[in-house]
Structure 1
């Protein structure tokens, strides 16, 4: 990455706690375990109470230093529910009690859903922990990718967990569904399988890949747009529906950006990255999707034992991630939709020998999606694209 000044950095306000470094599933596209970065092998399986306490103190220090009025903490893995409900509660209690009263805390967990049960939901209800669940469409499509280590599918146990989560007493904890796109699956079948659970929002995730290790079905031709074509079939159905059954984060983010909003996601827009990952051993890292680029791509060489969290703000990689268009390739900076696209997800820009100063490998797809949505919005307003 380019060496940039640290003058424009902003404090972190979202922390991803990797509370467990292993997973009970063996998903074939997983960027943590299938991309070649084996750093997880040398880390503790479970974040110890000592690391939790140190991380909580560092987050509280960060909140006081920058007078943060809010902070979001996500419990993540691996599969975070492998730690068990008692550990989840200890973590929620320790983080909550450490923060100054002037900082509002929101807690979340991202899970594959197979371990969700009444014990976890009781803890989540007590602490207001919002629950995001990964689901890849129809039962057959989901089991085609998201399997147990013994080879069996995971949809049955996931469905049981979702049924518990979406009961009236706990539905308010349901934060949404994550779906990794497979363009060989029918897009409308996928969408209908997701919305039957009535999620408040759906995140469609582009499979992690880059110029050196291309995503599935994303060839070299800029004329081919398999992911845009897949997503736009869902967009048309969603946009024209008399009543939208869920939010779709990518579509709503692009629409907001087109209307002039300063939307912040890691996929589109130019808002500075304000997320920091804390691993089970206390190491500080960038967003872990970078591990799909090359081993060690997310590492910062810092940890909660020896460094305040603000130390990460001066790391060249974090500085680059917070300087928006300045860190983009020249081709992206000159693009008329750069404010909307934002260069795409950082991990998808990597090319061996050239680093991250490249357009996204999904550039043609993003261009087509953005222009199509712009045209539909203008049409809805009675204007010509």
Structure 2
């Protein structure tokens, strides 16, 4: 479906300081799926490209003046760029934002295997937060995140997380990221993540398309494997006597059901607000498009010749930001479209008609949305009952507690 270009500014800039990785994860969307563009990239971003990238980010933010701009260092594995190179980049960013009224949030998203005090001291100096990928339990993690030798990386990551929990470095701890694995127990996964005391965590579904579906899809009608996995994790999170940790996927969905705004790109119709700069200076769309086909994220723009406003006129960015009007007819007619937003654009792709489809997770997304809706509405009914009891001296229960009126999805 054609969309008009938009001049809307970006607020999330993914910068690839390094193009390779120290792990060999079998389902990595950068290295193991449909796009081989990483192999043509220089291993590290040259200094001139780093400098130009900083200038382009600062000029874009100066023009649009968002409250917050986030610069996310990805890879490959960004720590392969080394502490000095990362420090120079962060220092240059801080200097370029001097005098701007936009807050700068610099985050390095790492697999955690290489993290040590040398990196953390640099990150503390330049205000760089650290997000770490962890797949829950040792067994689940080592099955999916392995060194090139085949050895699992869980022990390395756990050592890194112990450093981040140290009071000296705790302010740098940005959170945990976990990809749903159907062969891992959802409650055990959640509890293993909580045990690392993250300030926030997020759960992601594996990237796939209708042509190349994620593991476990297509399932038998009514099987809803991802909805059931996530519903079990949600119930464990929701029913805790006290909130243990914010979970972006769940918090955002609950907020939407209560009339709030989405804080996760998975939900709502705003689309992704991400632009990527590759090590050679190429400007690309969201990296997850590499799960679609060769060159799906390509724009033809380069940091030397183009600013982010010019890059933002690319039809791909316009389609990402088109909202509900950019969805297929089936999605537009769906009663939960305002919450679902059609799912991630990558997951809608089909060779025959591009992105003009529902998400390949459509049934699972709707089932999860309805499960959470029922849990939230049940809690509100329970609260109303308890408020009535309180008038005559009864106790008021927390709004987030389990309601006996609701049958969870299992």
The answer to whether the superposition gives a TM-score over 0.5 is yes
Deviation at 1:101, TM superposition (A): 1.6
Contact 1:137 1:193 in 2 (8 A): yes
Deviation at 1:272, TM superposition (A): 4.1
Bigger Cα displacement from structure 2, 167-176 vs 291-300: 167-176
**Counterpart check, 1:112 vs 2:149:** no
Contact 1:81 1:111 in 2 (8 A): yes
Give 3-state SS (helix, strand or coil) of 1:382's partner. Answer: helix
Contact 1:10 1:274 in 2 (8 A): no
Rounded to whole Å, the distance in 1 between the matches of 2:95 and 2:258 is: 40
Rounded to whole Å, the distance in 2 between the matches of 1:243 and 1:112 is: 29
The equivalent position to 2:76 in structure 1, one of 75, 78, 82, is 78
Partner of 1:333: 332
1:69-218 alignment, distance < 5 Å: 69-102=67-100, 103-218=102-217
Rounded to whole Å, the distance in 2 between the matches of 1:186 and 1:4 is: 41
Rounded to whole Å, the distance in 2 between the matches of 1:367 and 1:219 is: 15
Give 3-state SS (helix, strand or coil) of 2:299's partner. Answer: strand
Q: Deviations over 1:42-77 (max 9, x none)?
A: 111111111010011111111122233431101110
Rounded to whole Å, the distance in 2 between the matches of 1:272 and 1:184 is: 29
Rounded to whole Å, the distance in 2 between the matches of 1:380 and 1:13 is: 35
Partner of 1:361: 360
The equivalent position to 1:12 in structure 2, one of 10, 15, 18, is 10
Deviation at 1:314, TM superposition (A): 1.2
CA RMSD of aligned residues (A): 1.4
Rounded to whole Å, the distance in 2 between the matches of 1:242 and 1:198 is: 17
Change (3 A) 1:218 1:258: same
Q: Deviations over 1:204-239 (max 9, x none)?
A: 110111100011111154422001101111111111
Rounded to whole Å, the distance in 2 between the matches of 1:312 and 1:265 is: 24
Change (3 A) 1:363 1:272: closer
Deviation at 1:34, TM superposition (A): 0.4
1:237-248 alignment, distance < 5 Å: 237-248=236-247
Aligned length in residues? 383
Runs of 4+ in 1 over 3 A off after TM superposition: none
Rounded to whole Å, the distance in 1 between the matches of 2:46 and 2:308 is: 19
Please, what TM-score do these two structures have when normalized by structure 2? 0.91
Deviation at 1:262, TM superposition (A): 2.3
Q: Deviations over 1:72-108 (max 9, x none)?
A: 1011100000011101100001122123522221100
Contact 2:252 2:261 in 1 (8 A): no
Q: Deviations over 1:20-39 (max 9, x none)?
A: 10000001110000003110
Give 3-state SS (helix, strand or coil) of 1:247's partner. Answer: coil
Deviation at 1:189, TM superposition (A): 1.1
Deviation at 1:266, TM superposition (A): 2.4
Rounded to whole Å, the distance in 1 between the matches of 2:53 and 2:8 is: 19
Partner of 2:389: none
**Counterpart check, 1:55 vs 2:53:** yes
Please, what TM-score do these two structures have when normalized by structure 1? 0.97
Bigger Cα displacement from structure 2, 279-288 vs 252-261: 252-261
Rounded to whole Å, the distance in 1 between the matches of 2:115 and 2:207 is: 26
Larger Rg, first or second structure (1 or 2): 2
